[in-house]
Amino acid sequence: MPLTTDYLVIGSGVAGLSFALEAAAHGEVLIVTKRSADESNTKYAQGGIAAVLSEADSFEAHIADTLRAGAGLCHPLAVEVCVREGPARVQKLRELGARFDRAAGATNGDADLDLHLEGGHSARRVAHAADMTGREVERALLDAVARTPAIRTLEDHTAVDLITLAKYGGPEVCAGAYVLDGASGKVLTILARAVILASGGAGKVYLYTTNPDVATGDGVAMAFRAGAEIANMEFYQFHPTCLYHPQARRFLITEAMRGEGAVLRRLDGTPFMADHDPRGDLAPRDVVARAIDFEMKKTGAEHVLLDITDKEPAFVRDRFPGIHQECLRWGIDITREPIPVVPAAHFMCGGITTNLEGRTTIPGLWAIGECACTGLHGANRLASNSLLEGLVMASRAANALASTVERGRPWPDVPEWEVGSATPSEEAVVITQNWDEVRRLMWNYVGIVRSTTRLRRAARRVALLQEEIVEYYWKYFVTRDLLELRNIATVAQLVIECAASRHESRGLHFTSDYPDVDPKLAHDTVIKRGVPAHPRGR
Ligand SMILES: Cc1cc2nc3c(=O)[nH]c(=O)nc-3n(C[C@H](O)[C@H](O)[C@H](O)COP(=O)(O)OP(=O)(O)OC[C@H]3O[C@@H](n4cnc5c(N)ncnc54)[C@H](O)[C@@H]3O)c2cc1C
């Protein structure tokens, strides 16, 4: 017997939890989440949430900053909506119990928050909880969910595929999802009045990433398989400096360290940023990431060095206590030796195309947060705008659904998951090998600097890997590892196809064959199953 619910939410980060809390006012909510409920990109967000929260700031300034970062591709209405609705969403989070840092001597109200200034922002507007904002947001939202009886959460449950009625001869409507219960190994059929993808980003498609293991682009891959439109996958944001250590690959080293005088060096100790940009180590994020990538590719080095040893040790310990502690854990004393760093995949600007209520191109299917592409980020995300987008779009989707969801409709008759002749896998090594291959080839061929030849090569290899994965998928019982592998391969295909179709360099997409912006190409790239990547005017 299938499970049924009004709202099936896939993912428990800022977007999924915020949606669930609002939707619970008018329906039953079932959240499925891959690992523990708090494990998400949200939990690792350090900087904070951008919103206009002080008299010294203005909506116009936040809008202008976002449009500038987006390099001509932001959808102005998406920017307007997220910016203008941001302050109310931050206030709502505070009412739910999130505690953000307050200015010294603060009384009550938003105006009393201690707001950070971040790169690309022209005013102090980033609400934060020390440098662990995401952890606090996730804690507050999960506490509120625990107090809400209309919400049920299933941990260790991984959505496998969306159920679309068209597949069974019905209309093109999404009616639920097949979900793998990690404990029993069984695949459940869950039917819902609306399915809300809130499954986050896909950093794991690259060898180095700041994202946790859950970030395998499942939502984008499932939506693509179901026939939904996907957009702008060529715009993947890389953070320039992530600690290089086999066991600690996803620890960010803040860009503020270069602001305080840290110098990027080759392994032989020579500084290199001045060779790439007149601003040297203070060049913007994308320029620094490209320069590091260039140096690593040229010398074959696995990483470069970030050196702050010229500063007084007491200053370094005081200014960067978290990084100092974390690096010590891995045997690196940053007051005395340089930090090995690499750039790392950080944020997916593209995703499932939605309107400004979170509706995808398939009726019944909604997408919010990092897995969606609303047009807010354009070709490059402004720092701290992603938690903001998750909050705003979750609320808009919940509001839209409150008035449109059809509760009385009988449940459709869909087949349960077919195990067929599948058997338990005897060759787990194939999965490990292919995981590694996808991530490595994406890093080497489809990373920060691309070229037409490398993209072609990557496309051929991903296609071959996909053939093997599909064969494996039908032969053996599904496991989370196998599902994730299938999804990162699909996301890889989408990034490659979108990147290959853009014949210019803009925002986060840089190709050595077309190194300049082409003003005629200020368009989105869209792709659907069976329809190759192509431009769509805006
Ligand atoms: C290190 C780091 C620092 C960051 N700093 C900031 C910052 O300061 N400010 C900012 O605005 N943004 C920041 N970001 C980006 C921001 O954190 C994310 O974009 C945002 O949290 C995404 O929220 P989300 O709800 O869309 O997805 P997530 O928070 O990633 O949640 C996705 C959820 O979906 C679940 N899931 C995925 N696939 C499945 C499946 N198949 N079945 C079931 N469940 C599934 C996951 O387990 C998870 O619960 C940072 C990101 C990282 C990694």
Contacts of 42 (CB under 8 A, 6+ apart): 13, 14, 134, 137, 138, 200, 387, 390
Question: Phi and psi of 259, rounded to 5°?
Answer: -60, -30
Write down the catalytic residue from 125, 285, 381, 454: 285
> Catalytic residue at 285?
yes
| Alpha-carbon radius of gyration of the chain | 23
Q: Cα separations (Å) of 30 from 128, 218, 336?
A: 29, 18, 51
Q: What pLDDT does residue 130 have?
A: 81
Q: Is 324 helix (H, G, I), strand (E, B) or coil?
A: helix
- Kindly give the parts of the chain with pLDDT less than 50: none
Q: What pLDDT does residue 109 have?
A: 54
- Read out DSSP for 146-184? HT-TTEEEETTEEEEEEEEGGGGTS-S-EEEEEEEETTT
Cα 134 to ligand 1 centroid, rounded to whole Å: 9
Cα 13 to ligand 1 centroid, rounded to whole Å: 6
DSSP state of 186: P
Nearest ligand 1 atom to alpha carbon 133:
8
Q: What pLDDT does residue 111 have?
A: 63
Q: Is 372 in the pocket of ligand 1 (CB under 6 A)?
A: no
Q: What pLDDT does residue 250 have?
A: 72
Q: What pLDDT does residue 403 have?
A: 87
Q: What pLDDT does residue 259 have?
A: 78
Cα 155 to ligand 1 centroid, rounded to whole Å: 16
Q: What pLDDT does residue 117 have?
A: 83
Q: Is 374 in the pocket of ligand 1 (CB under 6 A)?
A: no
Q: What pLDDT does residue 107 have?
A: 62
- Start-end of H helices in 70-210: 76-96, 133-146
Nearest ligand 1 atom to alpha carbon 200:
27
Q: What pLDDT does residue 283 have?
A: 81
Q: What pLDDT does residue 213 have?
A: 95
